[in-house]
Chain A
Amino acid sequence: MTAATITRPRNAPSGQRKVTQGQVIASEWIKLRSLRSSWFTFVAAIVGMIGIGLLVSAVTNAHWGQLGPDERAHFDPVTRSLTGVYLAQLAVGVLGVLVISGEYATGMIRATFGAVPTRLPVLWAKLAVFAAVTFVLMLISSFVAFLGGQQLLTTHGTTLGAPNALRAVVGVALYLTVVGALGIALGFLIRSTAGGIATLFGLLLVLPTIGQVLPASWQVHILPYLPGNAGAALFTLHPDPGTLSPWIGFAVFCGWAAAALLGASVLMMRRDA
């Protein structure tokens, strides 16, 4: 075999001579679905979302007789069936970080930026593909968890027509999508899997706990705005006093993700790959 026979004439590749955002999205879609870890993690998120919801609903129904009158009065069948969101967010968040940190860890990022040297389209494409897949899968999971959970709660259950039930069910999917976006931003910012995951869950889970030790007068000005608390407002039906209203809370949560993405895009453009 000589080079002359194995390379094609100059104009052989059938591609357009321009890198477009759509093509970069197609590339990221191939990348996401060609890694087994993506599917394992999505399966974990789905099982977490549905499995925990059904389990908690069944257990609640079985032990209804042991609940005190106060608990029964405040019982909220909607959020009960959506308890799995707390597990699903771990899987989605980890995968969001991995989508980027995996490329930095293996050196793939250099091939990626070599093909798309303007870099920003890569960030948008990863975000778009991951957000779309996460939203669709989590929306379905959330509906299944809710509807199945209500079945298992029997007479203590409710319907989608109940006040704010639909908002909570869709809200869970929106919240998880933004958790994934935050993971992507942190993946670009921190570039290491361990660091990215630690930072993500530090923000979502640890920060609110630390906030609890602040003086009460400070707490009211800080706690509701922390990313985890603000985001959770969207699927909480009986919020604690001082919690942000659902859509304001979600907007604040999106603001955190947007700020992280902005930082990520600035650093991504400046740093060596």
Chain B
Amino acid sequence: MIEARELSKKYGDKLAVDGLSFTVQPGIVTGFLGPNGAGKSTTMRMILGLDRPTSGSATIDGKRYAQLPAPLHEVGALLEARAVHTSRSAYNHLRALAATHGIGRDRVDAVIELVGLQEVARKRAGGFSLGMGQRLGIASALLGDPKTLILDEPVNGLDPEGIRWVRDLLKGLASEGRTVFISSHLMSEMALTAEHVIVVGRGRLIADCSVSDLIAGAGANVVLVRTPQATELRDALVGPDVSVTSTGTGVLEIAGLTAAQVGEVAREQGIVLHELTPQQASLEEAFMDMTRDAVEYHAAPTEPAAAAAAPRSNA
């Protein structure tokens, strides 16, 4: 179990992490989600004792990382930036890390095989592709057979087969009762891998809930209607719980009613419909809505109209 309490980190004047509190439970995969620059990596580095929190604390099974007598047996970590000397072979890298804990060659060989790096284990790690680097990082995380795994963007750079492999591996590790905490900026990936998500933006906690709750909450269901009588339909539908937005000539987006309800009203009023489509906001959109205010670096809006229509109900 990982616990963060009022964790804050200041770089100069800038608050990278701002009073973050959360708990990561064992037995499930917990996703740590947020746009780039949200403070995910900083938070993970603080949990791992690499960065010193400005205030607050982080513990793993009740202990600060630096208090762990044999940290590799307790916590396996993969950090976003590759933590490997580029001139050393993967095998020697793992051997050196293993030696600090008295872990033998057999285990080093086992984790190399586990991540599928046998062919290149004796080659310089600097020549590895991003995907091979990730596999090496996962191998070092698993070296001590730890109860807790903290992985920063583990699927970054992996091909679809590799992504699937990581997903199955993490789920398997969680099902053995381990604590698995992985960060990502991709909601879609988290939806497939994680059961629980902690969402952050600009260093603050935005959501801490199960993935199914997030999907349900995100379902700001909108019905798209195409009709030559848009004005009449709007007048017939608008009510206290219903909002109607015109997104083009003869196109309406209706929130607060189901497609069936819209169709019935149209029939009663004798309004012709050319299209009636229920639209579920995708998880990706829900995530973007949720973190919109928290995104560090916005690209200049390319479609002012779309941006103006955006402030729909925030789930």
Of A13, A113, A270, the contact of B103 (CB 8 Å cutoff): A13
Question: Judging by beta carbons under 8 Å apart, are B50 and A13 in contact?
Answer: no
A74 lies within 8 A of chain B by Cβ: no
A199 lies within 8 A of chain B by Cβ: no
Question: Judging by beta carbons under 8 Å apart, are A111 and B99 in contact?
Answer: no
B132 lies within 8 A of chain A by Cβ: no
Chain B positions within 8 Å of A, measured between CB atoms, are 45, 48-52, 65-66, 68-73, 77, 79, 81-89, 92-93, 95-104, 106-107, 110, 114, 140, 142-145, 147, 165, 168-173, 175-176
CB pairs A–B below 8 angstroms (19 shown): A3-B168, A3-B172, A6-B169, A7-B172, A13-B144, A18-B69, A19-B70, A19-B100, A20-B102, A26-B100, A34-B89, A107-B81, A107-B84, A109-B83, A113-B49, A114-B48, A114-B71, A115-B71, A273-B51
Note all chain B residues with C-beta closer than 8 A to A8. Answer: 110, 145
Give A203-232 interface residues, CB cut-off 8 Å to B. none
- How close is A69's CB to chain B, nearest CB, in angstroms? 54
- How close is A97's CB to chain B, nearest CB, in angstroms? 15
A37 lies within 8 A of chain B by Cβ: yes
Known A-B contacts A30-B99, A113-B49; A17 and B73 likewise in contact (beta carbons under 8 Å): yes
Note all chain A residues with C-beta closer than 8 A to B165. Answer: 1
What are the nearest 6 A-B pairs in CB distance? Answer: A3-B172, A34-B92, A15-B102, A27-B99, A111-B83, A110-B83
Closest to B137 in A: A111
Closest to A2 in B: B172
- How close is A246's CB to chain B, nearest CB, in angstroms? 38
Note all chain A residues with C-beta closer than 8 A to B104. Answer: 13-15
Known A-B contacts A23-B99, A34-B92, A116-B100; A108 and B110 likewise in contact (beta carbons under 8 Å): no
Question: Judging by beta carbons under 8 Å apart, are A12 and B145 in contact?
Answer: yes
Give A95-115 interface residues, CB cut-off 8 Å to B. 102-103, 106-111, 113-115
Bound complex: CA of A26 vs CA of B6, how far in Å?
A: 38
Known A-B contacts A27-B99, A115-B101; A35 and B88 likewise in contact (beta carbons under 8 Å): yes
- How close is B191's CB to chain A, nearest CB, in angstroms? 20
Bound complex: CA of A31 vs CA of B92, how far in Å?
A: 7
Closest to A108 in B: B85
Note all chain B residues with C-beta closer than 8 A to A3. Answer: 168-173, 175-176
Bound complex: CA of A8 vs CA of B84, how far in Å?
A: 24
B49, B83, B172 pick with most chain A CB within 10 angstroms: B83
A63 lies within 8 A of chain B by Cβ: no
Give A29-70 interface residues, CB cut-off 8 Å to B. 30-31, 34-37
Known A-B contacts A34-B89, A102-B85, A106-B85; A27 and B69 likewise in contact (beta carbons under 8 Å): no
Note all chain B residues with C-beta closer than 8 A to A240. Answer: none
Note all chain B residues with C-beta closer than 8 A to A31. Answer: 85, 88, 92, 96
Bound complex: CA of A107 vs CA of B87, how far in Å?
A: 12
Closest to A119 in B: B66
B51, B52, B145 pick with most chain A CB within 10 angstroms: B145
Of B51, B82, B100, the contact of A24 (CB 8 Å cutoff): B100
A272 lies within 8 A of chain B by Cβ: yes
A4 lies within 8 A of chain B by Cβ: yes
Total count of chain A residues near the partner, CB < 8 A: 45
Known A-B contacts A6-B169, A36-B87; A118 and B99 likewise in contact (beta carbons under 8 Å): no
- How close is A127's CB to chain B, nearest CB, in angstroms? 16
Question: Judging by beta carbons under 8 Å apart, are B87 and A35 in contact?
Answer: yes
Closest to B124 in A: A36
Question: Judging by beta carbons under 8 Å apart, are A111 and B97 in contact?
Answer: yes
Closest to B142 in A: A7
Question: Judging by beta carbons under 8 Å apart, are A15 and B106 in contact?
Answer: no
Question: Judging by beta carbons under 8 Å apart, are A107 and B99 in contact?
Answer: no
Question: Judging by beta carbons under 8 Å apart, are B71 and A19 in contact?
Answer: yes
- How close is A5's CB to chain B, nearest CB, in angstroms? 9
Question: Judging by beta carbons under 8 Å apart, are B79 and A110 in contact?
Answer: yes
Chain A 231-273: CB-based contact to B (< 8 A → 1; otherwise 0): 0000000000000000000000000000000000000001011
Of A1, A7, A108, the contact of B173 (CB 8 Å cutoff): A7
A117 lies within 8 A of chain B by Cβ: yes
Note all chain B residues with C-beta closer than 8 A to A110. Answer: 45, 50, 79, 81, 83
Bound complex: CA of A4 vs CA of B176, how far in Å?
A: 8
Question: Judging by beta carbons under 8 Å apart, are B145 and A30 in contact?
Answer: no
Closest to A111 in B: B83
A16 lies within 8 A of chain B by Cβ: yes
Question: Judging by beta carbons under 8 Å apart, are A7 and B176 in contact?
Answer: yes
Note all chain A residues with C-beta closer than 8 A to B48. Answer: 114, 117
- How close is A118's CB to chain B, nearest CB, in angstroms? 6
Closest to B140 in A: A111
Bound complex: CA of A26 vs CA of B92, how far in Å?
A: 12
- How close is B226's CB to chain A, nearest CB, in angstroms? 48
Chain A 114-130: CB-based contact to B (< 8 A → 1; otherwise 0): 11111000000000000
7 additional A-B pairs beyond A14-B103, A114-B72, beta carbons within 8 Å, are: A8-B145, A13-B143, A31-B85, A108-B83, A111-B83, A114-B49, A273-B51
